[in-house]
């Protein structure tokens, strides 16, 4: 059994932590090496999609 992640609540928590520390989405993008800042906004909006490893291998 796999744990489920509440994507909306994760986004709310990330936003709260970012606000507390004064971190901007661009800062996170640069730190994690994302190609675009939109990836960070997807996390914050709860619009991220998880891919299981088996599914990921099918994409490669």
Contacts of range 45-52, beta carbons closer than 8 Å, 24 or more positions apart: 45/11, 46/7, 46/8, 46/9, 46/10, 46/11, 47/7, 48/7, 50/5
| DSSP state, residue 37 | T
Per-residue pLDDT of the chain in tens (60 residues, 90 and over written 9): 677 888 889 889 999 999 999 999 999 999 989 899 998 998 898 887 665 555 555 555
**pLDDT confidence of residue 23:** 96
Stated pTM of the model: 0.66
Domain boundaries, the chain: 7-59
Is the distance from CB of 29 to CB of 37 less than 8 angstroms? yes
């Amino acid at each position: 059994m796999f744990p489920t992640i509440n994507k909306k609540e994760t986004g709310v928590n990330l936003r709260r932590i970012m606000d507390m520390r004064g971190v901007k989405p661009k800062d996170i993008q640069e730190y994690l090496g994302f190609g675009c800042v939109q990836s960070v906004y997807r996390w914050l909006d709860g619009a991220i999609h998880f891919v299981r490893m088996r599914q990921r291998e099918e994409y490669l």
